[in-house]
Amino acid sequence: MSKLIRRVAIVGGTHGNEWTGVYLVKKFQQFPALTTRSSFETITLLANPKAIELNRRYIDQDLNRSFASEDLLNPKLINYENQRARDIVAQLGSRDQPQVDVIIDLHSTTSNMGLTILPSTPDPFNLRLSAYLSQIYPDVRVALGMNCTQDAPLLRSLSPLGFTIEVGAVAQSVLNADLFLKTEQLIYAVLDYIEALNQGKPLDVPSRLTLYQAIEAIDYPRDAIGNLQAFIHPDRQFKDYEPLQPDEPIFLTFAGESIRYQGNSTVFPIFINEAAYYEKQIAMILTEKREIELDKEY
């Protein structure tokens, strides 16, 4: 028997120019009945109001890398996102003293990720909920990050339960109706799933789950001082989750030369050509595709 979920947080605008989450949270704040369920409380949060106002990813540093426990405790870190991170911890609770049970953090990406669920941890609750969602929505995929633990500096990692939702491809600073509406339905499905679980009438979950486990980030080819020398190969652009075989092209240099994947086995790239990852020196993240058996319990 699982423990009850008492509070769920839906967070948008952790990155201020990712409008899908910003406007979904604004909609939920305007129409609170949409996220109200009888067995738990839903709270909503716009995480980075100043970045939202200025329509930027962040002001001083990436808020979604500002939640390392040691950084939260370091009094020398006082920039805008350092302070926002502490304000958010005051609202949602710390890792040691959580005030919410589940965090859903809404992001968007210029990569063609469809609706991707990135669980905060491999907790059976997260995996079973992910399996449920990927069963009812065929464009939902589930990816485990390289740092899929509560030690990550991410907002979602304040809680072991919950996940990031990444939707794309959508440009920064625009609303795409189709992806907005699909994300909205996905959130209602999450809330309904938790409601049923709390009421002792859990919804059917498939026994197996396809997971994409991140194994390596690849940067763009650059010159000695960091300037880009190539772009994503046109055959690879928008091909997130499609198999990449050894020796297939991944980049095309500005001079016209193809650069091929040097690995020895088939991988499945995601976050291909995400706008905000150029500065993180990530052109794509390679994953391995795995089928896992789910625990019957939780």
Which positions lie near a copy of itself, rule CB under 8 A?
23, 26-27, 30-31, 55-56, 110, 169-178, 180-181, 228, 231-234, 237, 252, 254-255, 273-276, 278-279
CA atoms within 13 A on the CB side of 151: 2
User: Are 168 and 179 spatial neighbours (Cβ–Cβ below 8 Å)?
Assistant: yes
CA dist., res. 188 & res. 186, Å (int): 5
Question: Pick the catalytic residue: 81, 166, 184, 297?
Answer: 166
- Which of 57, 128 has the CB closer to a copy of itself? 57
Residues 6+ apart with CB under 8 A from 226: none
Specify whether 166 is catalytic. yes
Q: How far apart are CA 72 and CA 102, in angstroms?
A: 20
Minimum Å distance from CB 170 to a copy of itself? 8
Residue 78 or 275 having the CB closest to a copy of itself: 275
Q: Tell me the closest approach of the beta carbon of residue 6 to a copy of itself, in angstroms.
A: 29
Provide the 8-state DSSP code for 203. P
Locate 206 and state its tokens.
């498939």
Q: Least distance (Å) from a copy of itself to the CB of residue 158?
A: 28
* Nearest CB to a copy of itself, comparing residues 29 and 99: 29
Report which secondary-structure segment, H or E, holds 32. Answer: none
Q: Which residues are annotated as a binding site for Zn(2+)?
A: 15, 18, 107
Enumerate the active-site residues.
166
